[in-house]
Chains A and B, each alone.
Chain A
Amino acid sequence: MLVATDTRNAGGDAATRSILDPPGSMLLDYLLRFADNALVLAQRLGEWVGKGPVLEEDIASTNVGLDLLGQARLWFAYASEVDARNGQAGRTEDRFAYFRDSGDFRNLLLVEQPNGNYADTIARQFLFDQWHVLALGQLTLSRDTRIAAIAAKAIKEVRYHVERSSDWVIRLGDGTDVSHARMQSAVDALWMYTGEMFTVDATERMLIDAGIGADAAALQPHWRSAVDAVFDEATLVVPADTWMQGSRSRGGKQGIHTEHLSRLLAEMQILARSYPEARW
């Protein structure tokens, strides 16, 4: 699809923009998907601070969250510039994080799911990490050099995340009867949220065609083979797909969320909203 009439195009410096570039509003929407995934999951992992099952895991969860928070800031910084190019005020990263409501968030439903027990947290992390590393891998080749640079930075961290979460899925799945049962039930409960990682809506279609976005649908077989291999080692059964996993399903990427996100945001945003000028 060509968009020749939109003069507010984004995707690079003015001189390098072409008729292939998507409208800035779509680029912004796309950037927020990655920013919000990282921010929301970082917030969830932060909830484990001080109450991890063992000290080492408390530290590990926090460190993974810290990496993701840093990545969210990189995405928001670019989103802020695109926002300004779009003729908006150029919302800062804090405006994006603290002053949007749940319907404006573009994260996957998976990452907003509650922590549950540690198997639930690990299952959520594993299913997301395996997708995240593949999506970022594609984005390192993005025609948008800023996106490529952020992805190249983030993927080095995420490769480490996926190693850790894969380790834990195997350890818990192939562990005791109790850990196996909890790991399987965590995977069963979260599986339906994995479908939307591979849906391609109009926004993604346009970004893919422009050589900027990752082709989510193309990632699916790679993701599935990686997940299958770990589940096999972990003696876990791959759950059956559900109605939420059709190619036309809609969810977090379109701003339609589970109620868990609103509760997460209430806690995350209350300080900034109660004291808008608060400074450390």
Chain B
Amino acid sequence: MTGKPATTQTPQPVAHASAAIADVWRALGLVPDPEVPVVSIVELGIVRDVARHRDEIVVTVTPTYSGCPATAVIEADIRASVEAATGTPARVETVLAPPWSTDWIAPEARRKLLHAGIAPPGAAPATDAGAYARPIRFARPRDAVPCPNCGSLRTSELARFGSTACKAQYRCGDCLEPFDYFKPH
């Protein structure tokens, strides 16, 4: 509810990047997220940088949730796809800062989530120092989450956690369908 735009956007391939680097970004754009396979890891905003260091390609990623069990699979998928696309050994580096935010999910990916029956996340909660200085007394009011099936706003939260750490379970009061909501994070 009090979300503000993330200060860091998803890095995109820049014009002067070498052809090899552009190839890597293209290859990474085809690597699906293991748990939400309708979006790629680039669209999800977890690929932070691609660089060439001597004889290897270094792909820098940031985890979504600390305990996300897909992390190891994502690493293996990145190495395999980059090596297949470029013939160059790839290494994955993980950075924590700045922490991943759902605000980095690309607009196109939000449409894909919607089509897959997953309500895309609203604005992420504020993460400035001031936000952390305020004690949390009550749960904040729930976002009005439009139903991905019929668009109704008469939806309610069934459970704070869904099939994966990144989703909550909702139910639509009009079409009565249950659905996943990608939690703002």
Contact = CB atoms under 8 A, between A and B. Distances in A.
A229 B99 contact: no
Given A159-B125, A163-B140, A74 B66 contact: yes
B102 to A, nearest CB: 10
A184 interface: no
Contacts of A70: 63, 65-68
Interface range for A: 35 or more
Contacts of B125: 156, 159
The prevalent SS among residues of A at the interface is helix
Interface stretch (A98-106, A199-207, A220-228, A241-249): A220-228
Interface range for B: 20 to 34
A245 to B, nearest CB: 20
B73 interface: no
A173 B125 CA distance: 27
Interface string B130-151: 0011011111100000000000
Contacts of B160: 60, 160, 163-164, 167
A172 B65 CA distance: 28
Contacts of B136: 130, 133, 159, 162-163, 166, 226
The 6 closest A-B pairs by CB, nearest first: A70-B67, A70-B66, A137-B132, A56-B159, A66-B67, A149-B97
Interface of B: 63, 65-69, 96-99, 101, 125, 127, 129, 132-133, 135-140, 158-162, 165, 169, 183, 185
11 contacts: A56-B159, A64-B161, A133-B135, A133-B136, A136-B132, A153-B66, A156-B101, A156-B127, A156-B185, A170-B138, A225-B137
